[in-house]
């Protein structure tokens, strides 16, 4: 078996890649779709003055807009048609998943298989449109309000016509991105929405690298800081790769069954439990909730006097919740740990897993089927989630601390961005290997049929 696995692994090389015509078509289609996504990020929203908009974004830098702007590849900063990106879809899908685990009716839909999954996807899209309308309306109103307060006209012709047009444009841009992601999933190499998010993050990498080395050349950034930053990023990427592939494999035993030779043989398999079951959801939720009051206070601070009690409170809130501050990092770490346990409990139900094992005749050696198995799964999952929560906290807090010490407030090297880039890259490589393996087996089947005909 080992030699056979080695032979299969050795065939997954560039020689076989050159022969996989279908895979090359899928890769070229994916690249073309991502190029379209990047072009759309430079198409401005009708009725917006880009110069004034740049000043607006500079004043609100450091809030939740920075997070959304990173995921959209700078589209929010330029206020393009796809300024909202796919974040409304991600938020809606998370809400639907949570509701499907808590609401009895949605829970029943979840158990219906493919038909239930399609219905839940339909609800997710309705939620996406609703969130896009709400966020688009607030963005349009915020642009008009900013122009009225500062004397600068961010919107050329403010009014309800501009707001309606902006909402329609933003909703259309987000829904087009979802369609593009579906096309990448079906006709490309898979993970369509994830690849769009990763492309938006990676698109900011050249600017980050150029600013980093330019600062080292001019002397504004110490060469030791540049070398240390590169080393920290490399170590974090390797650490993320190792931890994301780590899993606890529970042995599952099945009753003895008669084999083809008439012998009784027991089947064995493994139940893999990922160390980080929650994925990138905890840091996204924690950062969004933590940066939301900061963004609101920054918008409100433009119209408040620092001499008033409310104005003084807003200024103090901005100072305490700024990036790198001790209170911010403590709340950020606490939010990540909380959402790790919360989201893991939502996506993995030990009772359902135990019932499925019992129906199929499987059991964990030494553990009785049913309730005892569910208790044991919950015990094991809680223990590995502790390690996963610590891992996510380290990955997300270390870059925040480094940025605070060096003064380089770059969202690209944030822990959430690194997690998304590494996870999507690993999944994409896995998808490519699967296509190569399928192509290899297809060639083997053709050769076997040809030999059979010759005989």
Q: Rg of the chain over CA atoms, in angstroms?
A: 26
* 175 and 99 in a common domain: yes
* 327 and 242 in a common domain: yes
- How many alpha carbons lie under 13 Å from residue 121 in its C-beta half-sphere? 8
pLDDT for residue 175: 93
Whose CA is closest to 167, among 126, 141, 133, 142?
Answer: 133
* 232 and 181 in a common domain: no
Q: List Cβ neighbours of 330 (8 Å cut-off, separation of 6 or more).
A: none
* 251 and 161 in a common domain: no
* 185 and 226 in a common domain: no
For residue 447, is it within any domain?
Answer: no
Per-residue pLDDT tens for 128-158? 999 889 888 887 877 777 655 556 677 778 7
* 186 and 50 in a common domain: yes
Contact status, residue 26 vs residue 189, Cβ threshold 8 Å:
yes
d(CA 377, CA 2): 31
For residue 141, is it within any domain?
Answer: yes
CB atoms near residue 269 (< 10 Å): 12
Domain boundary among 160, 175, 204: 204
For residue 233, is it within any domain?
Answer: yes
Whose CA is closest to 274, among 294, 248, 254?
Answer: 248
The reported pTM is 0.76
CA 309, 313, 316, 322 dihedral sign is negative
CATH number at residue 248: 1.10.3370.10
d(CA 445, CA 438): 11
The mean predicted confidence, pLDDT, of the chain is: 77
By the 10 Å C-beta count (0-12 exposed, 13-18 middle, 19+ buried), 148 is classed as middle
Q: What is the domain extent for residue 345?
A: 217-413
* 261 and 196 in a common domain: no
For residue 171, is it within any domain?
Answer: yes
Give the count of domains, the chain.
2
* 199 and 292 in a common domain: no
CB atoms near residue 133 (< 10 Å): 15
**Of the given ranges (59-63, 276-280, 328-332, 424-428), which has the lowest mean pLDDT?**
59-63
For residue 431, is it within any domain?
Answer: no
Contact status, residue 416 vs residue 283, Cβ threshold 8 Å:
yes
* 408 and 276 in a common domain: yes
For residue 73, is it within any domain?
Answer: yes
* 146 and 277 in a common domain: no
Apex CA 346: angle with CA 340 and CA 352, to 5°?
Answer: 130
Helix 205-218, helix 223-244: angle, nearest 10: 150
Q: How far is CA 289 from CA 2, 344, 414, in A?
A: 49, 19, 16
For residue 247, is it within any domain?
Answer: yes
d(CA 64, CA 135): 13
- Residue 212 pLDDT > 50, yes or no? yes
The partner residues of 80 in beta bridges, in order of sequence, read 44
* 409 and 307 in a common domain: yes
Per DSSP, the three-state class of 327 is: helix
Portion of the chain with pLDDT greater than 90, in percent: 10
Q: Rounded to the nearest 10 degrees, how much is the dihedral formed by the CA atoms of 306, 139, 199, 426?
A: 80
Q: Most confidently modeled of 38-47, 177-186, 420-429?
A: 177-186
* 155 and 45 in a common domain: yes
* Higher pLDDT among residues 55 and 239, named by residue: 239
d(CA 335, CA 396): 11
| Terminal alpha carbon distance of the chain | 28
d(CA 403, CA 329): 12
Q: Supply the DSSP symbol for 412.
A: G
Per-residue pLDDT tens for 301-327? 554 555 566 556 666 666 666 666 788
């Amino acid at each position: 078996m080992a030699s056979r696995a080695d032979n299969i692994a050795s065939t997954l090389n560039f020689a076989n890649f050159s022969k996989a015509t279908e895979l090359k078509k899928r890769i070229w289609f994916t690249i073309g779709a991502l190029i379209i996504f990047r072009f759309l990020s430079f198409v401005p929203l009708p009725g917006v003055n880009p110069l004034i908009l740049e000043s607006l974004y500079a004043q609100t830098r450091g809030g939740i807009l920075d997070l959304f702007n990173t995921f959209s590849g700078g589209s929010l900063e330029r206020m393009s048609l796809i300024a909202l990106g796919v974040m409304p879809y991600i938020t809606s899908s998370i809400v639907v998943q949570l509701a499907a685990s808590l609401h009895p009716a949605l829970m029943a839909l979840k158990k219906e298989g493919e038909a239930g999954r399609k219905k839940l996807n339909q609800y997710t899209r309705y939620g996406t449109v609703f969130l896009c309308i709400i966020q688009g309306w607030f963005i349009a109103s915020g642009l008009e309000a900013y122009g009225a307060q500062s004397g600068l006209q961010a919107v050329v012709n403010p009014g309800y016509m501009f707001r309606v047009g902006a909402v329609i444009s933003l909703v259309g841009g987000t829904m087009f991105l979802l369609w593009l992601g579906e096309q990448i999933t079906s006709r490309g190499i898979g993970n369509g929405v994830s690849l769009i998010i990763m492309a938006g993050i990676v698109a900011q990498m050249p600017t980050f690298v150029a600013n980093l080395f330019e600062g080292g050349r001019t002397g504004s950034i110490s060469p030791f800081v540049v070398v240390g930053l590169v080393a920290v990023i490399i170590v974090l990427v390797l650490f993320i790769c190792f931890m994301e592939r780590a899993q606890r494999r529970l042995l599952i035993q099945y009753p003895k069954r008669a084999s083809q030779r008439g012998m009784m043989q027991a089947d064995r398999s493994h139940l893999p439990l990922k160390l980080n079951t929650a994925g990138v959801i905890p840091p996204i939720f924690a950062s969004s909730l933590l940066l939301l009051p900061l963004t609101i206070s920054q918008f409100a601070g433009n119209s408040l006097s620092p001499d008033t009690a409310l104005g003084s409170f807003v200024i103090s809130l901005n100072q305490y919740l700024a990036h790198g501050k001790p209170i911010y990092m403590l709340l950020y770490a606490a939010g990540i740990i909380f959402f790790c346990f919360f989201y893991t409990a939502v996506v993995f139900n030990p009772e359902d897993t135990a019932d499925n094992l019992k129906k199929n005749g499987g059991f964990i050696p030494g553990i009785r089927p049913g309730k005892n198995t569910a208790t044991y799964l919950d015990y094991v999952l809680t223990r590995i989630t502790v390690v996963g929560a610590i891992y996510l906290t380290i990955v997300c807090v270390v870059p925040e601390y480094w940025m605070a010490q060096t003064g380089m407030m770059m969202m690209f090297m944030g822990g959430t961005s690194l997690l998304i880039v590494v996870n999507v890259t690993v999944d994409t490589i896995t998808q490519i290997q699967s296509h190569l393996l399928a192509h290899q087996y297809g060639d083997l089947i053709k050769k076997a049929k040809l030999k059979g005909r010759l005989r």
